[in-house]
Amino acid sequence: MITALHSRPSPPRLVQLGYDDGWLLLPPTFLNLRIPVVIVDHAYTDDPIRFGLEPFGTRDPKEALPQTDLRITYYGNVIALRTRSTAEVLTTTVVRRRSPESVLGRHGAAALIIGNTYNLESTWAALWTMAIGKAKITTAEEDCEHTRTAR
């Protein structure tokens, strides 16, 4: 009888949610937003409010997402977060699990959420402390074409 108590299976190991590098790419079904969702850790950016994002927890869900001064650019498995006005690259990441094009490719914009992804890994309630906005999605080729046309 005593051996039965000691032979209990160990609890299952928790799978990490993908925040190893502070980025997470989610499909359009997440939060029923109908556009892909890109979550980026606040450590990579300045104050998200400065870029036109608004606090997630106090926004009116009936209102459209605010347009941000940030854009998401992808090429192959690399995703970059850039400013629209100056094209400054704030941060980049390499996606290992799936191609960014499979999630971002059919959409012209994504919901961009910036906040503390370490807290988000513990509880989805941390979304309420983050900032959200709508960012344009471009490919590296489109950015090069836009730069050539602008000159």
**Greatest C-alpha distance within the chain:** 81
Q: Is 43 helix (H, G, I), strand (E, B) or coil?
A: helix
Instruction: Judge whether 52 lies within some domain.
Output: yes
Q: What is the pLDDT of residue 26?
A: 87
Whether residue 1 is predicted with pLDDT greater than 50 in this model: the reply is no
7 pLDDT band (50/70/90 cuts)? low
Mean pLDDT of 97-118: 84
Domain containing 106 equals 17-150
Mean pLDDT of 105-133: 90
Q: What is the pLDDT of residue 85?
A: 82
Instruction: Judge whether 4 lies within some domain.
Output: no
CA–CA separation, 109 and 100 (whole Å): 13
Q: What is the pLDDT of residue 12?
A: 43
Q: How many domains does the chain have?
A: 1
- Look at strands 131-139 and 109-115 and give their pairing: antiparallel
Instruction: Judge whether 2 lies within some domain.
Output: no
